[in-house]
Structure 1
């Protein structure tokens, strides 16, 4: 297993000294299971800050578990551009301020479902003690990458509810890529109907959830270990014969998308950039059917994104 001594030291240095004996590694799976169940076990409201690429934003969240087990959730950006989304059981019902698909998957990593059995093959899972976030005691978990194709993750879970209170995403060099942190959390006060009512600019949508489809004529000749296809879609452009392809891959923590578009004679150049944890790599690809632009966007190192882009190709032309 490849070691990341600098990353381990930096992550460990961001938490308070251990107040009790170090938790057993097996406890990590238990805490992640509690975290996965917490969404349907606890209603809460609060405020959290989100930082990426040196930019901060503040958000309000109202999360209620109904008597029938249904989960209703409203998120509202409190500064900067007005953005809002209302979800029912994770499916967006209305959005404002950004495209539906962008807000649907805009949640920080800490608000995603994580499973130890899915992560263990690609991350070393550790319990490293306790911290205090938003006035609440928390346990601190580390997820250290076993290779160079993903980032390290630090997660602080509320001792009482197992809800995520704070998370940090760091590169191997110790660069902070993403921060999520509650500044206030109330899991005791009942939520009113008014609190979950979206503003008038929150426009209804059908659904932002894209099921896995078989309409995928592209193949990844190489993927980082542990990443699997989560969703796929092909869509014809209006008034055109061009078909746009979207593929999403994940390893249980990180995700990236691949967008494939026919160039049809358009002049474009290869690009490579990184904004916080998100790498963006675009490559021209010649095929028997013409030239395409392949763009990889996601929470992986730029070098890994570039390798994925270069490995994409039409299914009939690709080799394992």
Structure 2
């Protein structure tokens, strides 16, 4: 178990003996409920790889619908609007990690599942954005995922701060409110997208109807990760079929993209920006050379092993 960070000790002002895991499960359950039931507005900072950005957020729960708008305040005005977690419009290139899934995005957490892959504990108290918080840690039980430290608002259960940490306790990503108002419900005007927010065209998933699509699987996955979605689309430039698969352990996610190798070929690559890794590997199949790319917030060694484990279940026929 890693030590409580110095910042947490300074904020809380006292040491707290880790509480029973049941308390952590209760807080995570409350977190999931809060994001589905609690309206709020505020300002938060997002840090990754030494870069900071500041954002305003409006989050309204009304008639069973969760509507959310984020606007980046640094540099050009970048924006995203989501309804029930689905992106409706975007402007600019909102910082990776916030465009589709932010720490405030509606997402169901299953503590009973998470405790199989993480040690859950309440490890102390803190104060964030002028509000008392409870600190919940999720420490991974293996080397294939990162750890989280969540500072949850005592009044509402909302996440006031979230830290993503590697196996040595080093900070990879920070999400932290500087202002949170859970009383003022965002108005229609607050949630109205700006003129530059371009609508996202939803493409219907026809993967199940594509009879000649390759069906891919991984010979190895980190324990707890399951396939949650898969799609097949055509690349608008090459017209080649690109398969994509998303995996999830209930908290961490990664995606796998598979496409035919075109042109003179592509070199194997591995890059990391903060917690996000991208690993590309060439794969030989009976149908020719493929490029496998794994993208997600998982350790780079894990991403490489996943990329090398991808296999096709069926031989595609040519049209």
Indicate yes or no: 2:92 matched with 1:97. Answer: yes
- Measured in 2, the distance between the counterparts of 1:250 and 1:226 equals 8
1:35 counterpart residue number: 31
- String of CA shifts for 1:190-210, please: whole Å, max 9, x gaps: 322211111011122243897
CA contact (8 A) 1:111 1:164 kept: no
> 247, 259, 262: which one pairs with 1:261?
259
1:147-158 matches, within 5 Å, as 147-158=142-153
Indicate yes or no: 2:185 matched with 1:190. Answer: yes
Tell me, what secondary structure is at the counterpart of 1:34?
Answer: helix
Give the TM-score normalised by the residue count of structure 1.
0.89
Structure 2 runs not aligned, ≥5 long: none
2:162 counterpart residue number: 167
Give the TM-score normalised by the residue count of structure 2.
0.89
CA contact (8 A) 2:43 2:54 kept: yes
1:59-78 matches, within 5 Å, as 59-66=55-62, 68-78=63-73
> 292, 295, 298: which one pairs with 1:297?
295
Change (3 A) 1:103 1:173: closer
- Measured in 1, the distance between the counterparts of 2:150 and 2:243 equals 34
Over aligned residues, Cα RMSD in angstroms?
2.5
Structure 1 runs not aligned, ≥5 long: none
> 126, 129, 138: which one pairs with 1:134?
129
- Number of aligned residue pairs: 308
1:280-319 matches, within 5 Å, as 280-316=278-314
Change (3 A) 1:264 1:21: closer
Tell me, what secondary structure is at the counterpart of 1:15?
Answer: helix
Change (3 A) 1:102 1:212: farther
Q: Spell out structure 1 runs of 4+ moving beyond 6 A.
A: 208-212
| Post-superposition offset of 1:81 | 3.8
